[in-house]
Amino acid sequence: MTTPAQQAQYEKLMLHALSLASHGPITGGNPQVGCVLTDDAGTIVAEGWHHGTGTPHAEVDALSKLGGNAAGLTAVVTLEPCNHQGHTGPCSEALIAAGVTRVVYAVSDPGKTSGGGSQRLRDAGVEVIGGVVAAEAEEFLHSWLTAARLQRPHVTVKWASSLDGRAAAADGTSQWITGTAARQHVHEQRARADAIVVGTGTVLADDPSLTARGDAGELLKWQPQPVVLGRREIPAGARLREHPHALQQFDGSDLNATLTELFEAGIRRIFIEGGPTIASAFIAAGLADELLIYLAPKLLGGPKVALGELGVATIADAKELSITELRPLGNDVLIVARPATETMVARSATATATATATGE
């Protein structure tokens, strides 16, 4: 039974492990994971994090600092140690071989092949405590966990609009509704995605480059894969043809099939910037996991609304959202929201993990 003092110690160590995890890349298909190895007094003797696909996982990275010998130590890791052979070996076996006597983790690994590490550890006589700082870890790993649980990429839908919900003026002009701070934030979000998705209408009307750029217009280190939905041909001279990654195009008739194909290609996070038609299609299909809405203090009126038909015939059918963040960006405001049902499911999962960890 974990004492209150031990629980407080594990929570403090787990928060540190989460800070370590943030050093790893959010893109590339793998979760950001951090690990600390401690003695019985709670003193950290080694720490590590996952540096990206093909590199040692966080547990192995931490163990390497000790030459692989961690006899009698406790491992505090943000995600349940994996239990499968991928680019690297199973972390559960590495911890057992190193002599770790206790493993504390925050969130269970939902992977069909990678999950189950906690049971493997218990079978080997290692004490396992799960669900420590689960809520914080769930939020930290939100996009990756969503993709792993649903077996499709996490979908973020973005749009910029006036306060009255218009994405453009009556004549179709839309540059620029928002200011420079909001626009730069969009580029930062692009750099956190594995792919950026637009429709052919946006490509033909705006000729976007779909790159992630810095304040001075320079290309950022990570660039999302450009994806276009629609049957119309993309002109040979389109700026998308100059993107660092080759353009992928789907006809857009089956969004679920498209997401499955992208997931199988290693895409875990996609950023939808495709205008009202594409945004509305993903929301109407229940495929939008997060909304980023950039509101400018302007009124435009007219027909150019930010969203189109969502299949809502009456107020009772409204798609309920939970606002997770409100952030000023210069003179604009960013609203981050998620489907209310998803928020409730996440809270339920966290409560279950906590109850399991505490033996309730």
133 in the Ramachandran plot: left (φ > 0), alpha (ψ -120 to 50) or beta? left
* Rounded-to-integer distance, Cα 69 and Cα 95, Å: 9
Question: What torsion do the CA atoms of 301, 290, 266, 63 make, to the nearest 10 degrees?
Answer: 140
Question: H/E/C letters for each residue in 151-197?
Answer: CCCEEEEEEEEECCCECCCCCCCCCCCCCHHHHHHHHHHHCCCCEEE
* Rounded-to-integer distance, Cα 308 and Cα 304, Å: 9
Q: What is the DSSP string of 261-291?
A: HHHHTT--EEEE--HHHHHHHHHHTT--SEE
* Rounded-to-integer distance, Cα 192 and Cα 196, Å: 10
* Rounded-to-integer distance, Cα 289 and Cα 142, Å: 10
Active-site pick, 47, 59, 80, 290: 59
- Is 59 an annotated catalytic residue? yes
Q: What are the residue numbers of the active site?
A: 59
